[in-house]
Amino acid sequence: MYVAVKGGENAILNSHELLATARRGDAGIPEITPLQIREQLRLAVARVMSEGSLYDEDLAALALKQAAGDQIEAIFLLRAYRTTLPRFGYSVPVDTSRMALQRRISAAFKDLPGGQVLGPTYDYTQRLLDFSLVEMQPAPIPPLAAEPLPDSMPRVTDLLGHEGLMEAELPAHGDPAPADLSREPLSFPADRATRLQNLARGDEGFLLAMGYSTQRGYANSHPFAGEIRMGDVALEIIPEELGFAVCIGEITLTECQMINQFAGSRTVPPQFTRGYGLAFGEAERKAMAMALVDRSLRASELGEEMKSPAQQQEFVLSHSDNVEASGFVQHLKLPHYVDFQSELELLRKMRAKRAKVGAGETALEETV
């Protein structure tokens, strides 16, 4: 006798218990705290904040703990929380030229006003496993700079802009308020502000691959890392009752401006154009990849030939979001009995028909 599968609810509850147990691991090992994650896994926290579209180190650290370190799951948790939050207002655009810098490099100039500031970076670490980290170490003491960094440093792209060699970055006609992709659906063609917003929320791995493809000849972008800067910027809002900007805190940002050649068009002389990347926290790889993809998505507006995936905005923007992608890929785990049954029935019908035709042919051959 056949008994239909039952008890879905119980199975789900039990699965939650098992998940909690697996997350905790060996109970003999001290439990990790979100504070430890926030302080010691700051790059993981930064990615969750960026792609989760919410700057909150504590919540991102909590999400990472809850997700057992699965970044996309943590991003999903943060997004689902963010969507329920009320909006109090919108900040004034942040001014990255007034950033309190921890790092600032340019690959375009050897030296420049303010200088190259290496800051904390894995770039020159030789990637040898450091076995001393297996044991607890005394807290390191940071080196002191010979002189304090200036309060603000001009951006490299601004320096080029003075000479007219760099395209001006002007607001769109009428300076419209940017779309809010967490409130309005993406529609095509999408303007640059919308595209940048999509890329800022986009999956780092996806953007990395897309950006990489433009370097390997799928779109011809000739990029130079004009400037990468990382540090703290003040976040300001203008309360209606006050009418002037007040600082509500500081956030850490990584900004990348890629400089790209542009041959000029009928109306515009040859000049440099830029691709732009911005991410929460220390997220250099993401910011650079984003800048490459931003530039390649401008192919149509700059009258460049469009033949590569990274230049197709419907392709890039529709597939950049890892919460969407992860959900839809994994929905294949859901039952598809009905569709599958339909296909099964069709396949049997087609095979039966073919068998009949085949048999007919054989019979014909025999009579001949």
Report the C-alpha gap between 74 and 61 in whole angstroms: 9
Distance (Å, rounded) from C-alpha 336 to C-alpha 21?
30
DSSP H or E stretch at residue 340: helix 337-367
Distance CA 130, CA 190 (A): 46
Q: Is 208 exposed, middle or buried (0-12, 13-18, 19+ CB in 10 A)?
A: middle
Q: Is 120 in the site for another protein (CB under 8 A)?
A: no
| Choices 36-44, 129-137, 250-258, 329-337 (CB under 8 A): range interacting with another protein | 329-337
State the nearest-atom distance from the C-beta of 318 to another protein, in Å: 8
Q: Quote the CA–CA distance of 358 and 360 in Å, as a whole number.
A: 5
Cα–Cα distance list, 296 to 172, 211, 229 (Å): 19, 8, 21
Position among 125, 126, 137, 267 found at the interface with another protein (CB under 8 A): 267
Q: What is the C-alpha separation between 287 and 199, in angstroms, rounded?
A: 10
The one among 338, 362, 367, 368 contacting another protein by CB under 8 A: 338
Work out how close the CB of 100 gets to another protein at its nearest, in angstroms, rounded to a whole number: 32
Task: Note whether 288 and 223 are within 8 A (CB).
Answer: no
The CB-of-311 to another protein minimum distance in angstroms stands at 13
Please tell me whether residue 185 binds another protein under the rule CB under 8 A. yes
Strand arrangement, sheet containing 100-105: 100-105, 223-237, 246-262, 271-280
Measure the CA–CA gap between 340 and 359, rounded to whole angstroms. 28
Residue closer to another protein by CB (options 37, 317) is 317
Q: Does 170 bind another protein (CB under 8 A)?
A: no
Min dist CB 338 to another protein, Å, is: 5
Residue 364 interacting with another protein (CB under 8 A): no
Nearer to another protein, 8 or 243 (CB): 8
Q: Does 133 bind another protein (CB under 8 A)?
A: no
Q: How far is CA 229 from CA 121, 173, 256, 310, 317, in A?
A: 12, 29, 7, 25, 25
Task: Give yes or no for residue 186 binding another protein (CB under 8 A).
Answer: yes
- 129 contacts another protein (rule: CB under 8 A): no
Give, to the nearest 10 degrees, the angle between helix 204-215 and helix 284-296.
50
Among 84, 126, 362, 367, binds another protein (CB under 8 A): 84
Q: Which stretch binds another protein (CB under 8 A): 39-47, 60-68, 246-254, 328-336?
A: 328-336
CB of 15 to another protein, least distance (A): 9
Q: Any idea which residue has 């917003």 for tokens?
A: 197
Neighbours of 86 (CB within 10 A): 4
184 contacts another protein (rule: CB under 8 A): yes
Contacts of 8 by beta carbon, 8 Å cutoff, 6+ apart: none
Nearer to another protein, 37 or 54 (CB): 54
For another protein, which is the closer residue by CB, 157 or 194?
194
The answer to whether residue 1 forms part of the interface with another protein (CB under 8 A) is yes
Among 20, 247, 344, 359, binds another protein (CB under 8 A): 344
Residue 353 binding another protein, by CB under 8 A: yes
Judged by the rule CB under 8 A, the positions of this chain that interact with another protein are 1-2, 4-9, 11-12, 76, 79-80, 82-84, 86, 182-189, 265-267, 314, 323-324, 326-331, 334-339, 341-346, 350, 353
